[in-house]
Amino acid sequence: MANIILSPEDLKKTLDELRALGKRVVFTNGCFDLIHVGHVTYLKKAKLLGDILVIAINSDSSVAAIKGPMRPIVPEKERMAVVAALEAADFVTLFDEDTPLNLIKYLKPDIIAKGGDWAESDVVGRDHVKRVVIIPFVSGASTTDIVKRIEERLRKDT
């Protein structure tokens, strides 16, 4: 299998070729710090929206800026490798900003998929795509919830 983890520059070239063949590109992004059933379910649904699913991963510094100094738990290279191993992933790339707006403008996807905690009016890049799709959350499945459960269990054990 070819490497699906690409730089934005290599990804753009590949997507341009695929679009020339009539393929629809779906874009999503996130920290994907601890992969859980919510991520897997969400990515499977995002993949169904088009032909190619691009998953943009926040860099370590971007995650820390958004989530705080204790995050990410898993380093960016490992997060990218895990996401790339998921069946839904066609391509994975990294971005180092708080939002993927510049990456969206550069890659020009057809569709942006976001999780249920987003209102369509708040989706970054919505003005640069044909469609935005909000995919409902899997109840109780979040990295923050997992971290809290671990912390509670550790407190009980001490």
Tens-level pLDDT at each residue, the chain (158 residues):
469 999 999 999 999 999 999 999 999 999 998 888 889 999 999 999 999 999 999 999 999 999 889 889 999 999 999 999 999 999 999 999 999 999 999 999 999 999 888 889 999 999 999 999 999 877 666 777 777 777 788 788 76
**What pLDDT is recorded for position 157?**
73
Most distant CA pair in the chain, distance: 59
In a domain, 3, yes or no: no
* Helix, coil or strand: residue 126: helix
Do the beta carbons of residue 99 and residue 124 sit within 8 Å? yes
**What pLDDT is recorded for position 36?**
86
Distance CA 13, CA 86 (A): 23
**What pLDDT is recorded for position 1?**
45
Count: domains in the chain: 1
The whole-model pTM stands at 0.90
Give the domain range for residue 79.
8-157
The CATH number of whichever domain residue 28 belongs to comes to 3.40.50.620
In a domain, 52, yes or no: yes
In a domain, 1, yes or no: no
In a domain, 116, yes or no: yes
Distance CA 65, CA 41 (A): 26
Contacts 24+ apart (CB under 8 A), 21-25: 23/50, 23/51, 23/52, 24/49, 24/50, 24/51, 24/52, 24/110, 24/111, 25/50, 25/51, 25/52, 25/54, 25/107, 25/108, 25/109, 25/110, 25/111
